[in-house]
Chain A
Amino acid sequence: MNQAFCEMLGYTPEEFDHQRWQDITHPDDMEMTQHAIDPLLAGEKASVRFSKRYLHKDGSVVWADVSTSLRRDQNGKPLYFMTNVSDITERKRAEDAVRALSYRQEVILSAVPDIIMEVDKDKVYTWANQAGLEFLARM
């Protein structure tokens, strides 16, 4: 692994010498990661791409976009994984924040007893709060 990957997870290159991918993978993503790379080991796919969580040395979660392929020798025996990892932690946090805000607004709007509806430029209904949906359901 290169310096960028070491810095991403807070380890020195020397410390990484003793780590397996299982050691730095979030426990909840262990099975998913194995499932993702199984097609490479089985020779069914040349490369795979997926998102997963790593564990930083300090214990924090690091979200990553992972692209990996399995290099083999001339006899087809697996040699090593060639993997490209991008830190997407901030993007994930932003997505979670947007999702949480959206849910919060939905809950608030659902609590409003007045009907709130949205129409597009063609005057077609595109959204309604709970009161609006209940009213329309009776129409």
Chain B
Amino acid sequence: MIGKEAAFYFEGEQDTYQTVQPLFSGNENVIYVESWQRRKDGQKRLLAWWCRVLKDENGT
């Protein structure tokens, strides 16, 4: 699982990447997002994420 892209576990079409894009472009530090994900056994789970940017000591 480690090493796989997050979208690998997405269930159906979703705009999660667009929602969290401000984190990657540096415009936001924290974003709340809900995302449907599919388990290996086929069950769907709605996960609520608080996504936070981790920065080094230089703020990068």
Q: Say how far A117's CB is from chain B's closest CB, in angstroms.
A: 8
- Chain B count of residues within 8 A CB distance of the other chain: 17
Closest chain B residue to A127 by CB distance? B2
Judge whether A121 and B24 touch: CB under 8 Å: yes
Does B46 interact with chain A (Cβ within 8 Å)? no
Q: Mark A113-139, 1 if CB is under 8 A from B, else 0.
A: 001001101111111100001001111
Our count of residue pairs bridging A and B at CB distance below 8 angstroms stands at 38
In the assembled complex, which residues on chain B have CB atoms less than 8 Å from the CB atom of A121?
Answer: 24
In the assembled complex, which residues on chain A have CB atoms less than 8 Å from the CB atom of B40?
Answer: 138-139
* A contacts with B: majority SS: mixed
In the assembled complex, which residues on chain B have CB atoms less than 8 Å from the CB atom of A137?
Answer: 1
- Interface positions of B (Cβ within 8 A of A): 1-7, 9, 17, 24, 37-41, 47, 54
